[in-house]
Structure formats: structure tokens, C-alpha cells
Amino acid sequence: MTTKLINDAKLAEINDLGENSAEFVIKPLFYGYGNTLGNSLRRVLLSSIKGAAITSFSIEGATHEFTTVPGVREDIVDIMLNLKNIRFKCHTDNPVELTLEIKGSKQSEKDGDPRVTAGDIKLTSDVEISNPNQVICHIDDPNCTLKMHFIVETGRGYLSLEQSGRERVHGDMIALDVVFTPVLRVRYHVENTRVGQDTNLQQLTIIIDTDGTITPREAFEEAAAILVNQYTALAGSTTVESAPAPGFTTEDDDSGLKTSIEDLGLSARTANALINNDIHTVRDLVMLSETDLKELKGFGSKAFDEVKEKLTELNF
């Protein structure tokens, strides 16, 4: 059979691997498209998914990052590193100002643990934190009162320290370089697969881990939408005809596509010709073009007319 069209990709399976991890199986793909789609999706997932992070902060009593805070175990540089690990989910595109104020004596009362965590930040209705146990610092002096202010912003990709410093909401705050992406890790692998007689196909499996502020499926769909927008802008008015993914359709499984060829009421000669060509269900049949049908071994014009009439009767 001669390949005339490139089949559309099909998301065949989504398997949850953990609370914030999922596996996506795309098959069957036109040969070579496993790496083409896998690499492009991976790059977009790691670089372009929208997220939120602290872009600047201030600590009462500290004027720059190369100093210490009396009563606090960590210096400002260590606190900066801890702040970068706090994972935010922001419901607005505008910068959000948050505060934290806590006394060392209060921290000591918590099972003797002087830790200050992300859960101690006073949130607004626009912001959520997915890892409230993330440590910010430790207060060793029970008489110390720690006061901090934060600016949380949304963005994509990486924001350098220089750029973050230029765009600070408040000029007296300490700027942070930021990685906005909520996607922590992406792996993919490609393997060969087949549908019916066609063995020159591929299967792409992508595993996505996120930080909990977005689900793996949301990240996957956003990455695909970004690529669609980019390529659509480049394609102009040019369109390319494509074929449905072999073995798949948008219809539900109970719509008759799983019906066996033997149950269609075709003549024995026609049914045997289809089965001998590895066509066993209506799903297998509707994936073939009229030309493909005519080229089947042992499939004559009468069998073609019979099948065409049957498919019309079944609204396929």
C-alpha cells in the first residue's frame, strides 16, 4: 500500500504514575515523527509553560543580599536559595505582594522546631502554595521577630537577575533570578508499532513530572497548544490533507467500530478477503481509503461495492 497522507497523531493512553507524574502514550505516528514530536514537546514543556515564583523580596534589617539577619541562622544568600524552591499557583497575571511576620518565641513553641516555612507566609485569594513545608530559614533567637515581604509574579521560562532587578515592583527589594516553569522533569522514548498490515509506524511515550501547581495533563495540553499556535502562524493559508490515526477515531468504542467483520452480514467471499488482509473489525475497515480497499489482495470490484454499501448503511 502506498502512503499518500500523513496520519494525525492520537493520544492513546494517559497513565497516572504518581500524584504529580503521568505517562502519555501517542500512537500510531507516521515514521520518524516520534522523535520530532517528542523533542519539540519536551523543549516546550521545560521552557515555556506558565508558572509563578518570587521575583523579589525584602527582610526588615537587611539592605542587600551579602549580609546576615540577627537571630536568623541562615544568611541572605541561603534564604534566597530557599525562596526559589517555593512553588506558587497564581490566579492573576498581576504581581502579588505577600508578607511574613513571625516571632522566634512562637516558632520555639512548635515542638521546639525553629523552622520558618512557606506555610507561614500570609496568602491572598490570588495565590496558593503547593509545598508549604519548604523551609525558608531558622530563627535561633526567641526574641527575634522576622518580617519579610515578597513579590510573586507569573511568567514563562527563565528571568535573569539583571532583568528581574530592572523590573522590580519596589526598587528597595532584593531581586531573584527565577525559573517559572512548573514542570520539573520530562522524559520520552520512541518505539516501533503496527496497525494491521502497516508496520512502519511509531509510538511515543512521554513522562511528565510537575511541582503540583499544575497537573501533568494541563502541562501537556498547554505545550501542544503553544506548538500549534507557533506552526499555524508560519503555515499561512497553506493546509495539508491528513488521514485519521490508523486504528482510532473520535467516535466512542460502543459506536459499532469494534464490530467484527464476520458480524456485518457480508458474503463469505468478501468477509474472508478482508480477514485474510488482516482487517478484522469495522475500525480497521474505515481506516482504509477507497484506493487502499481496491488494492487489497483478492478483493474485487464486487466486494468493493458490497463493502461500500454496507459502510453507507452503517453511516460510516
pLDDT of the residue at 254 = 45
pLDDT of the residue at 245 = 66
Please check whether residues 110 and 165 belong to one and the same domain.
yes
Q: Looking at per-residue confidence, does 163 or 291 come out higher?
A: 163
pLDDT classification of 118: cutoffs 50, 70, 90: very high
CA dihedral 78, 150, 158, 76 (to 10 degrees): -20
Please check whether residues 124 and 80 belong to one and the same domain.
yes
Q: Rank 68-72, 81-85, 249-253, 275-279 by mean pLDDT and report only the highest.
A: 81-85
Q: Looking at per-residue confidence, does 284 or 315 come out higher?
A: 284
pLDDT of the residue at 253 = 47
Give pLDDT tens digits for 17-38. Answer: 988 999 999 988 888 889 999 9
Question: For residue 251, which phi and psi values (nearest 5 degrees)?
Answer: -75, 155
Q: Looking at per-residue confidence, does 223 or 251 come out higher?
A: 223
Candidates 94, 97, 93; CA nearest to 50 is 93
Q: Is residue 249 part of a domain?
A: no
DSSP annotation of 160: -
Give pLDDT tens digits for 55-93. Answer: 999 999 887 788 888 889 999 999 999 999 999 999 999
Please check whether residues 196 and 227 belong to one and the same domain.
yes
- Mean per-residue pLDDT of the chain: 85
Count of structural domains, the chain: 3
pLDDT classification of 109: cutoffs 50, 70, 90: low
pLDDT of the residue at 41 = 96
Give pLDDT tens digits for 143-162. Answer: 888 999 999 999 999 988 88
Please check whether residues 112 and 261 belong to one and the same domain.
no
Residue 16 has pLDDT above 60, yes or no: yes
Please check whether residues 58 and 150 belong to one and the same domain.
yes
pLDDT classification of 106: cutoffs 50, 70, 90: low
Give residue 202's region: left, alpha or beta (phi > 0; psi -120 to 50).
beta
- State the burial class of residue 76 (Cβ atoms within 10 Å of its Cβ: 0-12, 13-18, 19+): buried
Please check whether residues 164 and 94 belong to one and the same domain.
yes
Q: Is residue 244 part of a domain?
A: no
Q: Is residue 251 part of a domain?
A: no
Q: Is residue 245 part of a domain?
A: no
Q: Looking at per-residue confidence, does 175 or 9 come out higher?
A: 175
Mean pLDDT of 234-259: 66
Please check whether residues 45 and 55 belong to one and the same domain.
no
Give the ranges where the chain is alpha helix by DSSP (H). Answer: 33-47, 76-84, 104-108, 161-166, 216-235, 268-276, 282-286, 290-294, 301-313
Residue 208 has pLDDT above 60, yes or no: yes
pLDDT of the residue at 308 = 82
Which CATH number belongs to the domain containing residue 159 in this structure?
Answer: 2.170.120.12
- The percentage of the chain sitting over the pLDDT mark of 70, rounded to a whole number, equals 89
Please check whether residues 44 and 192 belong to one and the same domain.
yes
Domain, as residue range, for 278: 256-313
SS3 (DSSP) at 139: strand
Q: What is the pTM of this model?
A: 0.71
